[in-house]
Every structure is written in C-alpha cells, then in structure tokens.
Structure 1
C-alpha cells in the first residue's frame, strides 16, 4: 500500500519552521518616542535678509579672515563680526553683519563672499559700518537636510516648511531619519 504523504512529520516540521519567518511585532510605532533632533525652520525671505548691526558679543566664533586693518570673524550660523585691528593691542569691534546660515567667508578687494544658508552672497565691505549686498546666487549650496551630529535619529527636513536654520534636541515620535 502506498502512503499519500510520505514523511508527513518532515513536511509538518518544515511548514512550522517556515511560519516562524512570518513574525511581526505588533507594537504601535506611534508610541515609540526617541530623543533626537528636530529641524528649526525660517522662511526664505527671513533668511535672505542681511543687515549691518551694532557689534555683538562673540559666542560661537568660526573662521577668521584678515583684510587690511580689519578682522572678519564668522559667528557660526549667525553672521560676521567686523573688528578694526589697526592696533592689535586694542582691537575695536566695528559692526556685525547678520547673515543667517553663514559658515564660510572669503574676501577679494572690497567684496566679501559668504554663504547664506543655501545662497551665495557678495557683499561690498568698503564701508564696514554699512555693508550692502551686490549680488546673490540663489540655491548655490545643498539644502541642509540633516543635523551636524552623527549616529542620531532626527525628524526628516521638509523644504516646503522653509530653510533649516538649526537643529534642536527633542522627543520624536517614530522618527524616520538616521545619520
């Protein structure tokens, strides 16, 4: 007599083993909060406003550029301090050029080139107390889509909400991005 399913117990075990690969964790992802970073946005119009202000205190200095008797000191993501260094023993703060998202500067003749979030701007610095924009090249730099920190979760940046001008630590519910 011929058995319809030889080695039934082998087929049964193989079927059960295959089903173990179908495991699904039914925890609600909406309830899984994690500490991460959330983008801080500003409108393109706000970011593109460049102003010459009274001197500001140095808080997070970056690059320094020397041109003639002046020091141009980058304040990371905020702008540029202008300092008269005619007498290095007594430097005099002249002004602050407010440029959102500024990290890098270069100077040629009386033109200062600076990044302004996603734009490149050329500023006439002939009068450091009254700097003026002479040219802007929009969208010259990549959109800041992730925080400077690594090995962190973060809320994905959304260009429709504006320009990312910073990142704040926050409790995030089901964050989708990791760097």
Structure 2
C-alpha cells in the first residue's frame, strides 16, 4: 500500500512536468519567423560625407540661427546656453530672459560631436582636429588654436548603424553620413 501512495503521488507530477515541457517547446518553436522569399528586403546603408583639409580649416564660423534638429550636449556660459547639434556645430541661445530664450546664432563646426568650455574658450572636435574657439565676443568668434589630426581616423564620425566602412583618405575627412535605402 505504501508503494502505491508514492507511485500515485509521483505519476501526476511527472505528467504535469511533461505537459509543461511540451507547452514550453511549442511556445519556443512558435517564435521562429520564416522569411518569405517573395518579400523585398530593405537594408539601410550610409554613405560618408567627406570634407577636404582646406574646407575643414575654414569650417568654423558663426552663422545665422537655425532650427534645432538632432541635439546633444547642453551647457551654459554667462547668459548664453549652448546646444550641440550632432555633426554640425553648436546653437547659441541668448538666455538673458529665461522666460523667453532667443536662438541668436549657430557656430558651425563640421564633424562636431562634443564640446566643452573653460573660461571664454570653447573646445570642440572638428572631424579629426581639436579646435579652441574664443567665444568672449559673440558673434565675433575666433579660432585661437587648431591641433590637426589629434583624433585618429578610427575616432572619426562612425556610421549611425555602427557598421563597418571603407575609409578613403584621398577624399578627405568624414564629417557626416547620408542615409541610403
């Protein structure tokens, strides 16, 4: 009689485990997606935008205000707020009246991703170069120092999808990417 109790208790538990395993197995196999060969496959590719050395050296300048699109780092210096625009430069916002900030200009810096300030100097990556820009007399900015190719080719602007690419140094420096379908 004792053996029958153990066996009757054991049997439902084994059946339950078997049923649960079957449900799990079915659940996992139901997750597989089989691609329909008749459906077109779209892959996103990016093409690099190159700039020559001469154009890179002349790319830092103060321009008219433009709409904010793909913003990045934000920092404040005096009564101005600076807002990074990925690969393009820095927006200059006059914040003397915080209730009504005014977009007053744009510091174009080709291939720019990051900026920082110390005193009246804005430090920025300009593709592979590091530039120091005097911002003490806005809008009359001035590049006070440029360290060429301080950032290696490997640190250049990478494709948005993180994919690999063939860098063609004969074309110049990569400052942005264009999306192709």
Q: In the aligned structure 2, how far is the partner of 1:98 from the partner of 1:155? A: 26
Q: Which residue of 2 aligns with 1:77?
A: 87
Point out 4+ residue stretches in structure 1 off by more than 4 angstroms. none
Q: In the aligned structure 1, how far is the partner of 2:105 from the partner of 2:136? A: 13
Q: In the aligned structure 2, how far is the partner of 1:77 from the partner of 1:88? A: 27
**For structure 2, which runs of at least 5 residues remain unmatched after alignment?**
1-42
Q: Deviations over 1:15-39 (max 9, x none)?
A: xxxxxxxxxxxxxxxxxxx763322
**For structure 1, which runs of at least 5 residues remain unmatched after alignment?**
1-33, 172-179
Higher relative contact order (CA 8 A, sep 6+): 1
Q: In the aligned structure 2, how far is the partner of 1:134 from the partner of 1:94? A: 22
Q: Deviations over 1:105-157 (max 9, x none)?
A: 1111111111100000001101121111000011111222741313x4x5411
- CA positional deviation for 1:59: 1.2
Asked whether the 8 Å contact 1:48–1:100 carries over to 2, the reply is: no
2:121 is aligned with 1:148: no
**1:1-179 pair list within 5 angstroms:** 36-49=45-58, 50-143=60-153, 144=156, 146-150=158-162, 152=163, 155-170=165-180
Q: In the aligned structure 2, how far is the partner of 1:53 from the partner of 1:124? A: 15
How many residue pairs match? The answer is: 136
- Give the alignment's TM-score, normalised by structure 2: 0.69
Larger helix proportion, structure 1 or 2?
Answer: 2
Q: In the aligned structure 2, how far is the partner of 1:149 from the partner of 1:52? A: 31
- CA positional deviation for 1:169: 3.6
- CA positional deviation for 1:102: 0.7
Q: In the aligned structure 2, how far is the partner of 1:140 from the partner of 1:56? A: 29
- CA positional deviation for 1:166: 1.9
Per the alignment, in what secondary structure is the counterpart of residue 125 of structure 2? strand
Larger strand proportion, structure 1 or 2?
Answer: 1
